[in-house]
Amino acid sequence: MRSILLGVAAALAALAAPAQASTGAAEPPTLPAAAWYLVGEDGAVLAQQGSRHARAIASITKLMTAIVALEEARPSDLVQVSSLAAGVGGSTVYLRAGEELTVGELVRAMLIPSANDAATALALHVGNGSTARFVSLMNAKARELGLVDTTFVNAHGLDEPGHLSSARDTTLLVRYALGVSSIRDALGRSSFSLSGGQEFPTTDDLLASWPPLLGGKTGHTQGAGWSEAAAASMRGATVYGTVLGVDTREGRNDALRTLLEFGLDRYQRVAVIDASRAYGQADTEYGRPHVGLVASRTLLRTVREGVPLLERTVLPTMVGLPVRKGERLGRVEVWEGDRLVASSNLIAAESISEPGNLGKAVWFAERTAENIWELVT
């Protein structure tokens, strides 16, 4: 009859995640910004300063404008630019009253070169001629996303009383926005071209100079200072962060990169299950050698420093013979709290044959002799 597990043993072990976690976490950076916030993809808050203080956020606003526009209209919908949109100042792509662009084109113009005229054209189109109606949709979406420090007054982010958000909220906003494929695509582009051939570069300086950057939205007004909300990814880890109220453009770039680099350094890609390691052994019948149990594969996961991982193994106490190399005999799981990080079958590291009738007879005779000796001594 095939091998039967005669008993099951469960073993637990605490794992460090990663190895340097025991030395203590690095101190978060101090930045030349009015406020900042940094969060990992696992939801861990990695650094913050003044993160709930409501303040102007300038064109970071356009992330919400893009979200609402794409929820309420199709990217292929045509939008006729009004004189009101064409007359908006600040950063523009020089739209002309009466010309037509698609919603998708206006979203890209708004996010890449940060065009205020494109933002206004979208707001008027979706709001059926009323920017106030569109702004009410923005605020409703903010409530839905849990942006409790945020109140929008316009669709472009130019300074206006009451138009406020926070570093925490803008970080949540950019994370949500990057989950929308067309927004993520736009934020990863280095330039935007109108149908006439005029090209406008992105306002995001880090996009070309720092490869880990996935994308972000910049903002600058007198009230907001130099600001940006963005995400970066490296070694399987993604972090989201915002810096608000930096004095210079270069200072904003340096502060954001420092913040995001700090976040990325908090995560490592490690082998949480290692196929080269023995996870235990099980007895076999008839005095044959123990069988070693190994993982069927190595599994790499991205883990945050200082987070304890718990390893759970389920092992047989004895297996019947024969045992074939690679035969499934147990299981290993790695947990972070109540979240399963990885799991793998445990398999036999080697084959062990079943003895013949003579070998079994010899083993039984030896066991019988041992038992008799124990009785008489």
Give all strands of the β-sheet with 339-348 in edge-to-edge order. 8-15, 309-316, 328-336, 339-348, 291-295, 278-284, 318-319
- Yes or no: say if 6 and 317 are a contact pair by the CB < 8 Å rule: yes
Q: Which residue has the higher pLDDT, 332 or 353?
A: 332
DSSP 164: B
Which residues in the chain are classed under CATH 2.60.410.10? 8-19+271-376
Q: Cα–Cα distance between 370 and 54 in angstroms, integer? A: 82
Q: Cα–Cα distance between 22 and 84 in angstroms, integer? A: 60
Per-residue pLDDT tens over the stretch 58-104: 999 999 999 999 999 999 999 999 999 999 989 999 999 999 999 99
Residue whose C-alpha is closest to residue 298's, from 239, 248, 343: 343
Per-residue pLDDT tens over the stretch 235-289: 999 999 999 999 999 999 999 999 999 999 999 999 999 999 999 888 876 666 6
Classify 26-265 by CATH class: alpha beta
Is the confidence at residue 355, as pLDDT, over 80? no
**pLDDT classification of 6: cutoffs 50, 70, 90:** very low
What pTM does this model have?
0.84
What pLDDT does 359 receive? 53
8-19+271-376 is classed in which CATH architecture?
A: Sandwich (2.60)
Which residues in the chain are classed under CATH 3.40.710.10? 26-265
